[in-house]
Structures are given as C-alpha cells and as structure tokens.
C-alpha cells in the first residue's frame, strides 16, 4: 500500500460543475497538505497548502483536511475548461526542516464546455 | 527567466549510456529537489539538497544515480549505465529554505527516453 492514495480518474464534468478531488494517506505524522496542478507536459504548480486539519479557501478552490480520517479533499466551484489538468495531492512531515513532499499519483480532470 | 530551468527538455539515449540532466533553480532558493515522474504516476522523490550538500538522498534507486550541487545553485543529476526502466520525466524543484512548507517551484522537467 502506498503512503498516499489517489484515484487516477479521469474525472469528466461539464463546465460550471462542482468538482471534488480526494486523497487518503496512511502516515498519521503528515502535517502539511498540498494540492498541485499539472498541465500536460508541464511541471506541477502549487495551488494550495494547509497545515494540520481544517479548511482553507482561495477563490473557487477549497481545501479540506480531516486528520482523524486521514483524508483530504479539494473542491473546485464553477469549474472551467481551463481547469482541465492533473491534480496531485502531496503531504509532508515537519521533521528535520526538510519538508519533503510525498505525492499521490494524481487525478486527471476534464471539464468540457 | 524567474522560474526553475531544466535542460535538456528531451533526451533520447541508448541502453548503457551515461546521461546528465541540469537544473538551474530560482535565484535565492537554497533548497533543491529532484523527483522522477513515470507515465500516469505522481512525482517520486529522489534527492534533496540544502545548499551544496545532499541533505537526503534516500530516494535514489541505486548507485547508478548520483547528483551534485557544487556551488549551491545549479544541480546536475547523473545516471550511469542507463536502463530502459529509467525512462521518465525528471523534475527539479526549488524552494526557500526556512519558509518551506512544501511550497516547491517545479521546472518543466527533462523527459528521458532510454531505447
């Protein structure tokens, strides 16, 4: 079993839909939780990060962390075709100052007009 | 450019050859990471530098892989005796050291194909 599990999809939704992307993890010591977006043939770019449990909102994006269930989510409201990409969850320990993120395999999202 | 720069963007080589991949991080970023991403998978950690030294090389798959960062800026990932299984996109990322909470800035990657 991998430390971070993520359904690869693809997830196909119509424009304007609310999208829910999720990851589960096994290491209860993870403290930082991140979502990266990766367009085809590009490097990942950070969308949001959250420390410990709780919610964080940024525009159309909301990140949720439930440490008791070892489950994190990213919600995208009013999805746009430009949101079509692979979404990678990542998480890290706060040990030794290195904060090396461990990534999920990514979920491919397709938003069609 | 202000972003992480990686060269070459594409490299095709034959099994058994030696390959070098270069990463130029964002100016002022002391932390530098190498990841490998296979098709349909997420980035897999290889090695992390803090300044000139390799702070964590636990992700290197075997002794054919080696990385250096001699002056604390540009880094080179070196792969000896390449195998077909080494084919992947090699991603480099950098971050500010003290403020790092997993906020890595990635380059576009070097796509390695071993024939």
For residue B91, give the nearest of A43, A92, A102 by CB distance: A43
Q: Which residues contact B19 (CB under 8 A, 6 or more apart)?
A: B11, B13, B78, B79, B82, B112
Sign of CA dihedral B27, B28, B29, B32: positive
Interface list for chain B against chain A, based on CB atoms closer than 8 Å: 4, 31, 33, 35, 40-45, 48, 50, 55-56, 91, 93, 97, 100-109
Looking at CA atoms only, how far is residue A51 from chain B in angstroms? 8
Interchain CB distance below 8 Å, B102 and A51:
no
* Structure tokens given for A76: 């995208």
**Reported confidence tier of residue B102, pLDDT bands at 50, 70, 90:** low
The residue that leads in pLDDT, A51 or B84, is: B84
Please give the residue of chain B at the shortest CA–CA distance from A52.
Answer: B101
**Chain segment B35-54, per-residue pLDDT in tens:** 999 999 999 999 999 888 88
Looking at CA atoms only, how far is residue A41 from chain B in angstroms? 7
- For chains A and B, CB pairs below 8 A equal 67
Q: Is the confidence at residue B68, as pLDDT, over 70?
A: yes
Distance CA A111, CA A63 (A): 19
């Amino acid at each position: 079993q991998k430390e971070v599990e993520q359904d690869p999809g693809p997830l196909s939704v119509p424009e304007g839909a609310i999208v829910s992307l999720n990851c589960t993890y096994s290491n209860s010591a993870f403290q930082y939780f991140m979502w990266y977006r990766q367009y085809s043939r590009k490097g990942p770019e950070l969308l949001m990060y959250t420390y410990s449990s709780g919610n964080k909102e940024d525009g159309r994006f909301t990140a949720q962390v439930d440490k008791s269930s070892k489950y994190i989510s990213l919600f995208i409201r009013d999805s746009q075709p430009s949101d079509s990409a692979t979404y990678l969850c990542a998480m890290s320990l706060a040990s030794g100052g290195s904060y090396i993120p461990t990534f999920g395999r990514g979920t491919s999202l397709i938003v069609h007009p | 450019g202000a972003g992480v720069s990686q060269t070459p963007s594409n490299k095709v080589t034959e099994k058994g050859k030696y390959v070098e991949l270069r990463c130029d991080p964002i100016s002022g970023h002391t932390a530098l990471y190498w990841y490998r991403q296979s098709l349909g998978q997420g980035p897999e950690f290889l090695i992390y530098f803090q300044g000139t030294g390799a702070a964590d090389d636990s992700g290197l798959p075997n002794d054919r892989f080696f990385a250096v960062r001699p002056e604390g800026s540009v880094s080179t990932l070196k792969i000896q005796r390449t195998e077909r299984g080494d084919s992947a996109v090699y991603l480099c990322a950098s971050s500010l050291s003290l403020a790092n909470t997993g906020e890595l800035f990635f380059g576009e990657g070097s796509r390695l194909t071993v024939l």
